[in-house]
Amino acid sequence: MEEVGTGLLDRLDAMQRVAASAPGGPLLIVAGPGTGKTRTLTHRIAYLCAELNVFPEHCLAITFTRRAAEELRHRLDGLLGPVAEAVTVGTFHSLGLSILRENARAAGLPEYFRIADDTERTAARTEAGTDDTAYTKLLRAQDLVDLDELVTLPVSLLRDDPELVERYRDRWRWIFVDEYQDVDAVQYELLRLLSPADGNLCAIGDPDQAIYSFRGADVTYFLRFSQDFTDARLVRLTRNYRSSAPILAAAVQAIAPSSLVRGRRLDPARLDPEAPLVGRYPARSVADEADFVARTVDDLVGGLSHRSMDAGRSDGRTSTVSFSDIAVLYRTDAQAAPVVEALGRAGIPVQKRSHNRLRDRPGVALIARELRHADGLGGSLAARVRLAGQVLAQRFATPTLDAPVGVEPADIWSAVDVLTPLALRCGDDLPLFLAQIATGAEVDALDPRAEAVTLLTLHAAKGLEFPIVFLIGCEDGLLPFRFPGTDPTEDEVAEERRLFFVGLTRAQDRLYVTHAQRRHRHGREYDCRPTPFLDAIDAGLFERFGDSAPRRPKDHQLRLL
Ligand code: ATP
Ligand code: MG
């Protein structure tokens, strides 16, 4: 446990300290990537509890993913010790779920309602057609709620019941929301109900990282915070502690053409004159791109494991490279396959996650069902997941097929791998595990300690950081994404640029961007050009390697070191 008391804010810089120790009332922290928003948030909660006698049970912290919630809880434990348990930490979905559990009857739900899984939703949708009421009725008849209702139902409940609103306002007197730039209309309404206009609402975020408008998120809630909440205090953080200076410079230049933050500043805290430039690899093909990733990972982990990778780290530590330090990021899930294959051939372990709902991943809902129905499965939750996987894989291997179309034994095993770390984290709490499957995203099941290269969609990578990042498929049409024959709107291109910015700013020490000359998409092979987003970056920030000149083996490595 870290020292509590006057030293609590010592590990923050001057502006972070201002934010962490600001008095009550609405507070907006606007800050770019890597400026320590999450660090500031945890320290603020700890400071309020330890120094200003705020009760931890009066604090509610809302994060975007469950993984982020776990990380926050972990850091709070470190700062506050066991009392941190009393802080409510969760996502909008888990918050909504707990409000509904506490008020099931008032919300017209049975005590033991459950969140519908994919099969149940599809069945109800097929039967109800486009009739949304009929759809809800069908779910209710089976004691089910739809995932979206986890936020809409609490909103209607609170809207109609001012007394209930007062009860919750009394309970959660201090509310903190991370990634506020990505709240949607319903989540915003829930916040307005939970926090009075002059309440202790602390919103944290970066409009330039708003990347979820396709799910209904609306960055304007962030931009108009000061109008919605009375006398809102604004704090900006501008020092980036995450990325080396060349990586940060490239990212700042990349976002400049569509930055939503007036006078955006991001100053590097890390000033190593020897920091490597951004690696850029123009690949001939998708296979060549994947081979480059595999080769470079292999070189980095094998070749650098005993020497300091970044002598210029601000903390002066030396580090060794392991697979868990490395992430491969991409715009669409389909891009992962060639990389998985190339890494697999090189014997490099991977864990792949997307931002999609966990329960939508093939095999996951089947395993959840098996766990719910089979009482006979003994042992720990993780062991039961494996056993359920075995049962299902065997069942689907023989062609009878009550098996659902398109689900293969390999999907089941992959689902087992994804669910295992989550099962371990849930202890033996089956209802908690099932609720997490129903409400969580694939990325929530990421195991940060796994000795594996992490493969993520750009959307799933939000908020995370890795010493080494490959951003692959930096091509026009893929990033910005475009269906062949269609043109994205200006707003869509701006959002894609923000996504590119999110990707670049995940990297701490080394960043590689790659693009292929040819790519298969939608059943056809296309000639590809590098994304115009790269044009905004000074050529001097890149270290080009590979190119079309014949490559000497490991040539790129010699030059990069
Ligand atoms: P994002 O926008 O990507 O979510 P963030 O603003 O939430 O980024 P954090 O993840 O909190 O940034 O911090 C980025 C990194 O910088 C972390 O490794 C964190 O430990 C480090 N860091 C933050 N503040 C400081 C500080 N004052 N001194 C040293 N390191 C710091
Ligand atoms: Mg963050």
Pocket test for ligand 1, best of 38, 505, 508 (most atoms within 8 A of CB): 38
Task: Reply yes or no on whether the pLDDT at 214 is more than 70.
Answer: yes
Q: What is the pLDDT of residue 201?
A: 97
d(CA 450, CA 421): 9
Q: What is the pLDDT of residue 376?
A: 57
Is there a cis peptide before residue 480, judged by omega within 30 degrees of 0? Answer: yes
Structure tokens of 317? 């530590």
Q: What is the distance in A from the centroid of ligand 2 to the CA of 469?
A: 17
Protein residues with CB under 6 Å of any ligand 1 atom? 12-13, 16, 31, 33-39, 206, 209, 241-242, 463, 465
Cβ pair 58, 71 in contact under 8 A: no
Cβ pair 183, 217 in contact under 8 A: yes
Q: What is the pLDDT of residue 31?
A: 94
Q: What is the distance in A from the centroid of ligand 2 to the CA of 35?
A: 8
The Cα angle at residue 91 between residues 23 and 464, in degrees rounded to 5? 85
Share of the chain above pLDDT 70, in %: 91
pLDDT band at 116 (very low <50, low <70, confident <90, very high): confident
407-434 pLDDT tens trace:
778 888 889 988 988 888 887 888 888 8
Look up residue 216 and give its DSSP letter.
T
- The whole-chain average pLDDT of the chain stands at 88
Which residue's CA is minimally distant from atom 29 of ligand 1? 241
d(CA 78, CA 138): 46
Q: What is the distance in A from the centroid of ligand 1 to the CA of 243?
A: 10
Q: Residue 209 CA: which ligand is closest?
A: 1
pLDDT band at 306 (very low <50, low <70, confident <90, very high): very low
d(CA 320, CA 195): 46
Task: Reply yes or no on whether the pLDDT at 304 is more than 80.
Answer: no
Sign of CA dihedral 106, 177, 179, 442: negative
Q: What is the pLDDT of residue 406?
A: 67
Q: What is the distance in A from the centroid of ligand 1 to the CA of 188?
A: 26
Residue ranges of the binding site for ATP:
31-38
d(CA 256, CA 264): 8
d(CA 208, CA 217): 13
d(CA 158, CA 168): 9
Coil/strand/helix, residue 187: helix
d(CA 109, CA 132): 17
Task: Reply yes or no on whether the pLDDT at 533 is more than 60.
Answer: yes
The tokens 């209309």 sit on which residue? Answer: 185
CA 252 to chain centre: 21
Coil/strand/helix, residue 462: coil
Q: What is the pLDDT of residue 547?
A: 61
Distances (CA, A) of 508 to 23, 53, 75, 110, 557: 33, 36, 20, 49, 19
Rg (CA), the chain: 24
Q: What is the distance in A from the centroid of ligand 1 to the CA of 264?
A: 17
Distances (CA, A) of 107 to 102, 116, 138, 188: 10, 17, 16, 20
Q: Residue 33 CA: which ligand is closest?
A: 1
Task: Reply yes or no on whether the pLDDT at 558 is more than 60.
Answer: no
132-186 pLDDT tens trace:
888 999 999 888 999 889 999 999 999 999 999 999 999 999 999 999 999 999 9
Coil/strand/helix, residue 452: coil
pLDDT band at 447 (very low <50, low <70, confident <90, very high): confident
User: What is the bridge-based pairing of β-strands 466-471 and 350-353?
Assistant: unpaired
Atom of ligand 1 nearest to the CA of 463: 4
Q: What is the pLDDT of residue 402?
A: 60
Pocket test for ligand 1, best of 30, 45, 238, 241 (most atoms within 8 A of CB): 241
Q: What is the pLDDT of residue 155?
A: 97
Cβ pair 240, 248 in contact under 8 A: yes
Q: Residue 43 CA: which ligand is closest?
A: 1
pLDDT band at 307 (very low <50, low <70, confident <90, very high): very low
Pocket test for ligand 1, best of 16, 39, 315 (most atoms within 8 A of CB): 39
Helix pair angle (118-128, 364-373), 10° resolution: 100
Share of the chain above pLDDT 90, in %: 61
Mean pLDDT of 335-362: 90
Residue 498: Cβ within 10 Å count = 25
- Examine the predicted complex and report whether its ipTM is higher than 0.95: yes
Cβ pair 542, 255 in contact under 8 A: no
Q: What is the distance in A from the centroid of ligand 1 to the CA of 240?
A: 7
Q: What is the pLDDT of residue 305?
A: 42
Closest to 507 in 3D by CA, of 237, 268, 283, 204: 268
Alpha helices, H only, 304-444: 336-345, 364-373, 381-397, 409-425, 430-439
Task: Reply yes or no on whether the pLDDT at 5 is more than 90.
Answer: no
Residue 209: Cβ within 10 Å count = 22
Q: What is the pLDDT of residue 546?
A: 81
pTM of the model: 0.88
Distances (CA, A) of 490 to 182, 258, 268, 485, 494: 19, 10, 30, 16, 6
Mean pLDDT of 226-255: 95
Closest to 303 in 3D by CA, of 323, 321, 281: 321
**Amino acid identity, residue 411?**
D
Mean pLDDT of 282-293: 96
